[in-house]
Amino acid sequence: MTVSVRIPTILRSYTGGTAVVTSVPGTVRDVIARLDAEYPGIGGRLLDEAGRLRRFVNVYVGEEDIRLAQGLDTPVPAGGQVSVIPAVAGG
């Protein structure tokens, strides 16, 4: 079974315009690694050079913000949904 990953518009150039892609269950780190293997470069937009989630990227598993859970080690069960949401700033 797979997990679905919602890709924001700003990153869809990496997925050929696809809004929802699939990955494998595991941790958020596993999902991002698989995405980067299938869609080269997308991992670098989500993670910094130290392998941490970039400051202005929010990731949810279901409706839970991974920063309030186990971070990149948050489990993503089969059939689950990961949402990547860029932070919006403005004034």
Q: Evaluate if residue 88 carries a pLDDT over 90.
A: no
- Tell me the CA distances in angstroms from 80 to 2, 50, 70, 88, one per residue in order: 8, 27, 16, 25
Angle in degrees, CA 17, 46, 55, rounded to 5:
130
Look at residue 56 and tell me if it is in a domain.
Answer: yes
Q: Please give the DSSP secondary-structure letter assigned to residue 52.
A: P
Q: What percent of the chain has pLDDT over 70?
A: 97
For 36-48, the pLDDT digits (tens) are 999 999 999 999 9
Could you give the number of structural domains in the chain?
Answer: 1
Q: Which domain holds residue 68?
A: 3-86
Q: How far apart are CA 25 and CA 71, in angstroms?
A: 15
Q: Evaluate if residue 34 carries a pLDDT over 70.
A: yes
Say what the pLDDT of residue 89 is. 67
Look at residue 91 and tell me if it is in a domain.
Answer: no
Look at residue 35 and tell me if it is in a domain.
Answer: yes
Look at residue 34 and tell me if it is in a domain.
Answer: yes
CATH number of the domain that residue 62 is part of: 3.10.20.30
Global pTM value:
0.92
